[in-house]
Amino acid sequence: MPLGYHGKILHVYLDRLALEVETPSESFYRTYVGGSALGAYYLLKNTPPHADPFGPENTLTLALSVLTGVPVSGQSRIAAVAKSPQTGAIGDSQAGGYFPAEMKFSGFDAFVIHGQAAEPVYLWVHDGEAELRPAGHLWGKTTGEVEDILQEELGDKRIEVLQAGIAGENKVRFSALINMANRANGRTGMGAVMASKKLKAVVVRGSQRPAVSDKKALNGIARHGAKVFPDSDVYSTGILGTAGVVLPQNKVGGLPTHNWDSGYFENAEAISGERMADTILKDRHSCYACTVRCKRVVEVTEGPYKVDPRYGGPEYETLAALGSYCNIDDLVAVSYANQLCGAYGMDTIATGATIAWAMDCFEHGLITTEDTGGVELRFGNAEAMVTMVEQIAHRQGLGDILAEGSERAAAVIGRGSEEFLITVKGSVLPAHMPQVKRSLGLIYAVNPFGADHQSSEHDPAYRYYPERMAQIGLTNPQPSKVLNEEKVRFALITEYLYSALDTYNVCQFVWGPSWQLYDTSELAEMIRNVTGWDISIDEILTVGQRRLNLLRAFNAREGFTREQDKLPKKLYKALKGGRSDGIALDPQELEQAKDHYYAMAGWDVATGTPRRETLEKLDLDWVADMLES
């Protein structure tokens, strides 16, 4: 058994309510590591081409890594991987909290979930033992209610629960998996996948900690992180959370506003991290063994929107999507909508962006009060926004259409409504604007599971952190607002690194190259101290490259080509207001950048599909055979 692992992967066959344990080889673990790459491996191996995302053949993997559970900041992460009901492409999603570490302590490295149960069940895993139990009594309950019931039922307040919410039960295509009632595997609809299998929850508890190579050295790494934290760039993230990004983004014209018509929101201060800290912030929470404590906890006890601290609090992406995207400056209303998303199990970015798109359609007369049931779905109407969150989760009224996601909703509504979309492959854009961070436009277009802001480093890092960039071979800093060949190389190499972070399952705020708590050389050191393997930065990048090729290969098998690697029309229209006024992307620039990107990645430039020789160099010969067949 390799150090840092249990050497056991639990396969759950819901159609026959059976459990089996796989014991992979050490070479398997070193190749696929864990997290996202491990999930992609099992998806490609077990899910046939063109499977229905809501069908029994869609394999869902919940995967940890070799680092999960060691007492160092930023390691308690879990990846959920399946075919996405939102995009039809691969679905990949990460979350933190205490569930990942507790799952590791329960005695397994991953859960691979096959089939579909006849009736709702939950999986209970504790100290190497696993069983499936009836979950009909949990169906239709909020995430907080489910946690309370399971704690009482199992007689243990310290269990950790990962669950599909009411939105997942209703097949909202962007529903999330939720743990701790406030940590989400969001964006790609993993909550709907799990609920479609009639698996309501996964519950874990345990005390089994795998052996490591050098415990003393690991303790030293943990102490170092705690020591440098007050002077690091991540310190402000601990104090204000990612909500602290609202005002800086607005200042540079990079805060998406009015469904991406502008990068400037004149009332940004009202939804800022600073305003939150001064008003409704109650506490800061952490993930297991993390010194940063970046998770917001807010509380509101008076007024129309009561906000329960159990459901955490809004981060930057949520404040933007449910706030500035919709021209809403009511922090309490945004926090309440965030609570609803946590209670029902929905991705906040997709929820807010879909509502903003609907508001744009309403403003242009494409959606009327007849469609909304009398709701004045106008920009700035906080009450209407909250109402739509409820309707989406329960698939009521217009919410039944919006629960399909804005791209599918546009196909239903028609009448030119697709002109207002901000989607890639059916997935909405997160709140970082490629108009002011140019390489993000490329990554948004080519990313296998749709536009994502945590799949590569953001452009300013190349200039501000030259020593850290040099560790991964980037030595020619470029300005933020260019997309030349060197910037494309920056995008690809940092994409490999971030891809590795999602495979080793570590937090990008702690281990990302621009946050200054730990750097990439220290990541290699930590992996060596856990495994005893002679890991280098080059091998870390190769792990990330392999994972990216697995994701891309799955999409190619499903019929995705270069044609789907495109940005929404809105990004080619000039922004209005603020420092980004008049700025628009150039479609020819993107196409040229894609040529460079595919060539550098070793993919066919015409189709964007990984070449056989590229896959073979990554020990993925079997994937090349699959694509050719």
Q: Is the pLDDT of residue 618 over 80?
A: yes
CA Rg, the chain, in Å?
22
588 CB-near residues (< 8 Å, 6+ apart): none
179 CB-near residues (< 8 Å, 6+ apart): 95, 97, 98, 99, 160, 161, 162, 163
Range with lowest mean pLDDT among 69-78, 146-155, 229-238, 322-331: 229-238
Q: Give CA separation, 562 vs 136, 447, 590, 608, in Å.
A: 44, 11, 12, 5
Q: What is the mean pLDDT of the chain?
A: 97
| Helix, strand or coil, per DSSP, at residue 337 | helix
Give the model's pLDDT for residue 230: 93
| C-alpha to C-alpha distance for 403 and 85, rounded to whole angstroms | 11
| C-alpha to C-alpha distance for 548 and 618, rounded to whole angstroms | 11
| Helix, strand or coil, per DSSP, at residue 185 | strand
Q: Is the pLDDT of residue 516 over 90?
A: no
Give the model's pLDDT for residue 142: 98
Give the model's pLDDT for residue 480: 87
Q: Which candidate, 22, 97, 84, places its Cα nearest to that of 53?
A: 84
| C-alpha to C-alpha distance for 310 and 424, rounded to whole angstroms | 33
Give the model's pLDDT for residue 334: 98
CB burial class (10 A; 0-12, 13-18, 19+) of residue 293? middle
Residue 532 has a CB neighbour count (10 Å cut-off) of 15
Tokens of 505: 């399952």
| C-alpha to C-alpha distance for 512 and 521, rounded to whole angstroms | 11
**Overall average pLDDT of the 228-236 stretch:** 90
Matching residue, tokens 């979950």? 135
CB burial class (10 A; 0-12, 13-18, 19+) of residue 301? exposed
**Overall average pLDDT of the 26-48 stretch:** 98
Q: Give CA separation, 626 vs 42, 439, 503, 557, 614, in Å.
A: 14, 31, 22, 8, 14
Domains of the chain with bracketed CATH: 9-205 (3.60.9.10), 216-421 (1.10.569.10), 438-566+586-628 (1.10.599.10)
Give the model's pLDDT for residue 233: 83
Give the model's pLDDT for residue 472: 97
Q: What is the dihedral sign for C-alpha 618, 623, 627, 629?
A: positive
| Helix, strand or coil, per DSSP, at residue 607 | coil
Find the distance separating the first CA and the last CA of the chain, reported in whole Å. Answer: 34
Confidence of residue 595 (pLDDT cuts 50, 70, 90): very high
Q: What is the dihedral sign for C-alpha 419, 422, 425, 426?
A: negative
**Overall average pLDDT of the 496-521 stretch:** 94
Give the model's pLDDT for residue 624: 98
Q: Is the pLDDT of residue 432 over 90?
A: yes
Give the model's pLDDT for residue 498: 98
Percentage of residues of the chain with pLDDT beyond 70: 100
Q: Is the pLDDT of residue 518 over 80?
A: yes
**Overall average pLDDT of the 314-332 stretch:** 98
Give the model's pLDDT for residue 28: 98
> What are the tens digits of pLDDT across the range 131-177?
999 999 999 999 999 999 999 999 999 999 999 999 999 999 999 99
Confidence of residue 1 (pLDDT cuts 50, 70, 90): confident
| C-alpha to C-alpha distance for 399 and 389, rounded to whole angstroms | 8
> What are the tens digits of pLDDT across the range 359-382?
999 999 999 999 999 999 999 999
Confidence of residue 515 (pLDDT cuts 50, 70, 90): confident
Q: Give CA separation, 454 vs 158, 377, 387, 547, in Å.
A: 31, 31, 30, 15
Give the model's pLDDT for residue 582: 98
> What are the tens digits of pLDDT across the range 55-87?
999 999 999 999 999 999 999 999 999 999 999
**Residue 504 backbone dihedrals phi, psi, to 5 degrees:** -75, -5
**Overall average pLDDT of the 251-255 stretch:** 98
Give the model's pLDDT for residue 95: 98
Percentage of residues of the chain with pLDDT beyond 90: 97
Whether the Cβ atoms of residue 549 and residue 610 lie closer than 8 Å to each other:
yes
245 CB-near residues (< 8 Å, 6+ apart): 273, 316
365 CB-near residues (< 8 Å, 6+ apart): none
| Helix, strand or coil, per DSSP, at residue 204 | strand
**Overall average pLDDT of the 581-605 stretch:** 98
